[in-house]
Amino acid sequence: MTSNLEAQLLALRQEGEKAIAAAETLERLEELRVNYLGKKGELGALLRSMGQMSAEERPKIGAIANTVKESLQTSLDQQRIALEAAQIQVQLEAETLDVTMPGIYSPQGRIHPLNGIIDRALDIFVGMGYTVAQGPEMETDYYNFEALNTPPDHPARDMQDTFYLPDGNLLRTHTSSVQIRYMEREEPPIRVVAPGRVYRRDNVDATHSAVFHQIELLAIDEGLTFTDLKGTIKVFLQAIFGDLPIRFRASYFPFTEPSAEVDLQWNGRWLEVMGCGMVDPKVLKSVGYDPEVYTGFAAGFGVERFAMVLHQIDDIRRLYASDLRFLQQF
């Protein structure tokens, strides 16, 4: 009985080691472990017959069984390490890049000239203590007109042909509506700059577009004067264009009084670049500010206008055409 069981154990070890060495996957290796060393495996089945042996025979067979188990476990561990290493090597070879192959050309992106102007302007105003504010492009008549001292029967409405929507709302004609919304939420003193897209029913040509961009600034505080407005605009324009002559011409806007147009001497001629003025007391009252205590000034400009002047662009439509031959110049 003893010699027969001993022969079976040794044969099991030989068979197991051969099968383990031939295993090509980790899944197959796990199957062999269960088959030979699992609770219901072949080694366990042989050892259950030890109950029929005498007390003298059991230690000898037990020692042989432990040797067989350790040998099989060692073979399993070694084959697992070898298979895992081979698996990693296959993965490395599959994921390795051939650096000698030609790459796929991807042109480097550049900042669009409109975004460049917006970024520069906001950097300047933020450096002067202004907060950037945003607002909806679809506006109500109240925020776009009435709160800005432009009631329905006001003649200034004829100055802005507007895109009206079926629900009575409209596409904003300026970013001044952002200033009203901001003033309703905040108490003076305030200094805010509002960039954004605006819409007007203009016929598209070399200098006009139905969709364009504005940046407007607003300051409200005690004791602000037109001199403060002129100083702010001068600092801003010199930061953008350099130290060039600037002049202010009397003008009209429904939400500022007095109002002015700002001209810049560029290449020997005067160019209109901005509109500005002191905030009309009626606008201050509409948001609950006391015009006897607070004064303010506002100014705004078209981003496209600045881009065309700075970069000597002859047609505003070039800014929207997404022509890489044009954009790669910037």
For residue 257, say whether it is annotated as part of any ligand binding site.
yes
Please give, one letter per residue, the 3-state secondary structure of the chain: CHHHHHHHHHHHHHHHHHHHHHCCCHHHHHHHHHHHHCCCCHHHHHHHHHHHCCCCHHHHHHHHHHHHHHHHHHHHHHHHHHHHHHHHHHHHHHHCCCCCCCCCCCCCCCCCHHHHHHHHHHHHHHHCCCEECCCCCEECHHHHCHHHCCCCCCHHHHHCCCCECCCCCEECCCCHHHHHHHHHHCCCCEEEEEEEEEECCCCCCCCCCCEEEEEEEEEEECCCCHHHHHHHHHHHHHHHHCCCCEEEEEEEECCEEEEEEEEEEECCEEEEEEEEEEECHHHHHHCCCCCCCCEEEEEEEEHHHHHHHHHCCCCHHHHHCCCHHHHCCC
Known binding-site residue numbers for Mg(2+): 257
Binding-site residue positions: 257
